[in-house]
Amino acid sequence: MVDDEGDFLATYERLLRRQGYDVVMATSREGGLAAVAREHPHLVIADLRLPDGDGLDVVRAARGLLDPPAVIVVTGYPSDETRRAALAAGATSFLAKPFVAAALLDAIRSGLDGKETRS
Inter-residue contact 42 to 72 (CB < 8 Å): no
Indicate whether 118 belongs to any domain.
no
Q: Give yes or no for residue 119 having a pLDDT over 50.
A: no
Q: Give yes or no for residue 117 having a pLDDT over 90.
A: no
Indicate whether 117 belongs to any domain.
no
- Percentage, residues of the chain above pLDDT 90: 93
User: What's the pLDDT tens digit per position in 50-81?
Assistant: 999 999 999 999 999 999 999 999 999 999 99
Indicate whether 41 belongs to any domain.
yes
Indicate whether 62 belongs to any domain.
yes
Indicate whether 119 belongs to any domain.
no
CA gap 54, 22 in Å, rounded = 25
Indicate whether 14 belongs to any domain.
yes
Q: According to the model, what pLDDT value does residue 116 have?
A: 45
> What CATH number did the domain enclosing 94 receive?
3.40.50.2300
Residue 44: closest CA among 112, 116, 106:
112
pTM of this prediction?
A: 0.92
Domain that holds residue 56: 6-112
Number of separate domains in the chain: 1
